[in-house]
Amino acid sequence: MKEKKLLIVQHMDWEGPGEHLATALAAGGVSYRLLEAWHEPVPDLAPFHGMMVLGGSPNVDEEEQFPYLRPLKGAIREVIAGGKAYLGFCLGHQLLGHVLGCKVGPLPKKSVGFITGELTAPGRAHPAFQGWPRYLDLFKWHGQGVLPPLAEGVEILALSPEVPVEALGLAGNPRVLSLQFDNHAGIADVEKWLEKDGAWALSGSGAEPQAMVAEARDKEKTIGPLFRQFMGNFLQLV
């Protein structure tokens, strides 16, 4: 079988693929190129079987401040039109929603730390989420989100009391989906994010850093294996 090759788009020099994502990619025998989007052009997409887009500080409408967002949105459209796989996390989720015609904007309150989410009926039927429980722990780090009503053909795959669209997908195309939550992050990632971006995340969110790290340790035994299972399912779709 031909080796699967992915393009992974990174927005911040300190926020790369989280521990659980890196472990899953290695276990799946997947090769990837890491694109530092803020200073590297989007490469020719032909050699890649799919794209992953990670989280970051920009908002989807800040193209003047972050000019690379324009070609990145074009690349996402090209990936989808070419029938390739797409998986977004956080900002990557919001960019997918934006490209698909959904509204993206501020939430009533930042969603930071660990909360409980729920898979919807389409989410429970989605091949990427097979083996997941209906209710699950989510690790959150954002102030904006995809807002309903969604564009035609876009489905809500997961939700939470704080965020109406925790995951979305394309009806009839399981290779294209995105997650607002960052369960790809391990304990060391949580600690790094608090160090690098804690001032923004903790301001007005009600989150407490020591409690967040303690929760990350407590939930590691469930979040890690479930995320790696999700990635194994997704990689079967690539």
- Measured from the Cβ of residue 130, the count of other Cβ atoms closer than 10 Å reads 13
> Distance between CA 51 and CA 78 in Å, rounded?
10
Confidence of residue 180 (pLDDT cuts 50, 70, 90): very high
What is residue 83's predicted lDDT score, i.e. its pLDDT?
Answer: 97
> Strand (E) positions, the chain?
5-10, 31-36, 50-53, 85-89, 103-119, 135-147, 154-159, 167-170, 173-179
Tell me how many degrees the CA angle 200-206-212 measures, rounded to the nearest 5. 80
Confidence of residue 2 (pLDDT cuts 50, 70, 90): confident
- Angle between helix 187-202 and helix 19-27 axes, rounded to 10 deg: 140
Rounded to 10 degrees, the C-alpha dihedral 184/198/65/34 comes to -30
Task: Determine the average pLDDT of the residues in 71-91.
Answer: 98
DSSP state of 3: P
Query: Across all residues in the chain, what is the average pLDDT?
Result: 97
Residues 6+ apart with CB under 8 A from 25: 6, 17, 32, 231
| Domain boundaries defined on the chain | 5-237
Kindly report the CATH class assigned to 5-237.
Answer: alpha beta
Tell me the DSSP string of 95-126.
HHHHHTT-EEEEEEEEEEEEEEEEE-HHHHHS
Task: Determine the average pLDDT of the residues in 28-34.
Answer: 96
What is residue 4's predicted lDDT score, i.e. its pLDDT?
Answer: 94
Q: What would the two tokens of residue 118 be?
A: 């729920």
Q: Does 1 score more than 90 pLDDT? A: no
Rounded to the nearest 5 percent, the helix, strand and coil shares of the chain are 35, 30, 35
Q: With a threshold of 0.95, does the pTM exceed it? A: yes
3-class DSSP state of 189: helix
Looking only at the bridges linking them, the beta strands covering 154-159 and 167-170 are antiparallel
